[in-house]
Structure 1
């Protein structure tokens, strides 16, 4: 199941990443087009819009993502709590992009995410694996790993939390 998430994250990087670290998930998202079926069953291209909002607008969630129809067509709207710390928001945005690209988001349904530790549902696990792979591309992580002196230094290079860096390092069996 996570192999699909890892594959799709790599494809997104190949299509839209400028090669600079840390990966900017919002910028990457703005360069992607996602296939969506309209009411007639035709496949149309949809954009991804990412924006920070006050936490109160998210009704206690860390983020939400939805597919909506606008006069210009369909768009995925990913909103995150801009009151949170930057490395958390970067992971949250990458996580929501994962939900979009993995096909978890459907028209007319807002997907609220609380990003609580211990949520092991299949969709959350897939989106987390996607986010980790997107923010810490394997090839670059392996290169950086040998040159850093601490987990904190590794996390800073990729703009993620120590916990996210630790998870990715273990997932790649570098420790």
Structure 2
């Protein structure tokens, strides 16, 4: 079944998926997979979806991860040398590619460290590959730090270190998410 978001992306592949659409998609995924506890476990989610995850040793040290889809065979590789929080973000990022860019077609995305830190496009930048990296990053942030749960936890304890630990993300990621949600 193709969602409204997927239909829009199929018809207009160069359209940037907005933040609200990504938040709605992530909420739907979390709800449908009963994954609303903190911290969200992207490995468990991937396993429920039949996506295989493997630690890998890449010949290029700047590579963080990749996703490959061939029919029903979907695999995510993460750099075995990365920290646990980096691996969690990489897996969530690759799941973003799965849900936003690979639902209706085979393909792959290979992501280096630069892609995982990309939060927005440079002025005037419309290239599809960079747009998709920004979208996957927004998806990863929404998946690992769901809006509703971050707001709820923030009301209890707004300490950045605590929140990063609670959600299993880096302090930098949590700080960015708090700002994005207007909680600071």
TM-score by length of structure 1 reads 0.80
Q: Which has the higher strand share?
A: 1
Runs of at least 5 residues in structure 1 that lack an aligned partner in the other structure: 33-46
Q: Which has the higher helix share?
A: 2
Over residues 36-62 of structure 1, what are the superposed CA-to-partner deviations in whole Å (9 max), with x where a residue is unaligned? xxxxxxxxxxx3222222243x66411
Kindly report structure 1 stretches of 4+ aligned residues shifted beyond 4 Å.
none
Q: 1:51 & 1:67 partners in 2: Cα distance? A: 14
Partner of 1:30: 47
Over residues 9-57 of structure 1, what are the superposed CA-to-partner deviations in whole Å (9 max), with x where a residue is unaligned? 111101113433211101012223xxxxxxxxxxxxxx3222222243x
Determine helix, strand or coil for the equivalent of 1:21: coil
1:174 is aligned to 2:178: no
Deviation at 1:91, TM superposition (A): 0.7
User: What is the alpha-carbon root mean square deviation over aligned residues?
Assistant: 1.9
Deviation at 1:104, TM superposition (A): 4.5
Aligned length: 155
Q: 1:118 & 1:30 partners in 2: Cα distance? A: 26
Partner of 1:92: 90
1:4 is aligned to 2:21: yes
Over residues 49-88 of structure 1, what are the superposed CA-to-partner deviations in whole Å (9 max), with x where a residue is unaligned? 22222243x664110111124xxxx221111112100011
Runs of at least 5 residues in structure 2 that lack an aligned partner in the other structure: 1-17, 122-129
Deviation at 1:127, TM superposition (A): 0.8
Deviation at 1:153, TM superposition (A): 0.9
Corresponding residue to 1:162 among 149, 163, 171: 171
Determine helix, strand or coil for the equivalent of 2:133: helix
From the superposition, tell whether residues 112 and 162 of structure 1 become closer, same or farther in structure 2 (CA, over 3 Å). same
Determine helix, strand or coil for the equivalent of 1:112: strand
Partner of 1:35: none
Partner of 1:42: none
1:101-120 to 2 correspondences below 5 Å: 101-104=99-102, 106-107=105-106, 109-116=107-114, 117-118=117-118, 120=121
